[in-house]
Amino acid sequence: MELQVLSLKGVEFSGDVRSVNARTTSGEITVLDHHLPLITVLNGRLVIKDATGNEKTIPAISGFLEVGKGNKASVLIS
């Protein structure tokens, strides 16, 4: 899945990933390849697992996660 994470500082992450684990206002979710379209509100950290299996954690006080068609996801955080 192609992921782009944007913040007020600029691009925090951009690339292909295996999964994204996110804390949302409804609980914790994991987004995998070819996930159904989704928009949710974030209220915690993101844990990104890249194509090689390495993990990167990005703090997110608040923001939005959108999973769209074409196996693409976008995150806007503050």
Q: What's the whole-number mean pLDDT along residues 10-27? A: 96
Positive or negative torsion for Cα 65, 67, 50, 19: positive
CA-CA distance, 40 to 64, in Å (whole number)? 6
Nearest residue to 37 via CA among 77, 78, 1, 76: 1
Could you give the domains of the chain?
2-77 (2.60.15.10)
- pTM as predicted: 0.94
Q: Please give the pLDDT value at position 69.
A: 93
Q: What's the whole-number mean pLDDT along residues 14-25? A: 96
Q: Please give the pLDDT value at position 11.
A: 98
Q: pLDDT, tens digit, for every residue of 23-75?
A: 999 999 999 999 999 999 999 999 999 989 999 999 999 999 999 999 999 99
